[in-house]
């Protein structure tokens, strides 16, 4: 006749290994996610937010006084930026622009627009998906106009 084997007791040592394994997996996953998030973070908007805040209201009032309404569109191979003013299209004295993904700085690229009487165009190839266009335009009177525009490039 065969005797039944008794189950091994669940000891404190086994519980310790279970707890180490459980928390080890949680900590490992958290570390992977943390390093992934830090590695793709585009960075700071301004070096010192307190100093930037001291002139924010004045700069915002000057920018709003221009009465400009910006827009951005994309046709295959061409990024089109336009500014509508109170009296029609506006051609600023200069434009500095950057295009990038909203959450990943690896695809950021500087853009050089060719200024036109109605719109301003840049030769640029963008992959499908969401993009953010950062524009700093300077009015003829020297007022800086800063804007961020969202752009969605559709899949073909």
Contact indicator for 90, 101 with CB cutoff of 8 Å: no
Q: What are phi and psi of 99, to 5 degrees?
A: -120, 135
Domain definitions of the chain by residue range: 11-40, 49-153
Tens digits of residue pLDDT in 51-89: 888 989 999 999 999 999 999 999 999 999 999 988 899
Task: Tell me the pairing of strands 78-85 and 69-75.
Answer: antiparallel
Residues 6+ apart with CB under 8 A from 69: 83, 84, 85
CATH code linked to domain 49-153: 2.60.40.3760
Above 90 in pLDDT, residue 148? Answer: yes
Residues 6+ apart with CB under 8 A from 130: 101, 102, 150, 151, 152, 153
Contact indicator for 138, 145 with CB cutoff of 8 Å: yes
Above 70 in pLDDT, residue 1? Answer: no
């Amino acid at each position: 006749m065969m005797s039944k084997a008794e189950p091994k007791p669940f000891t404190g040592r086994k519980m310790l290994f279970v707890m180490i394994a459980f928390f080890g997996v949680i900590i490992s996953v958290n570390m992977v996610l943390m390093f992934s998030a830090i590695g793709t973070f585009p960075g700071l908007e301004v070096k010192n937010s307190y100093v930037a805040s001291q002139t924010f209201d004045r700069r915002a009032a000057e920018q709003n006084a221009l009465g400009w309404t910006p827009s951005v569109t994309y046709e295959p191979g061409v990024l089109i930026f336009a500014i509508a003013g109170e009296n029609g299209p506006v051609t600023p004295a200069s434009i500095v622009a950057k295009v990038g993904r909203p959450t990943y700085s690896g695809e950021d690229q500087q853009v050089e627009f060719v200024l036109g009487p109605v719109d301003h165009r840049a030769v640029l190839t963008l992959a499908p998906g969401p993009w953010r266009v950062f524009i700093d335009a300077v009015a003829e009177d020297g007022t800086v106009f800063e804007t961020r525009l969202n752009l969605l490039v559709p899949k073909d």
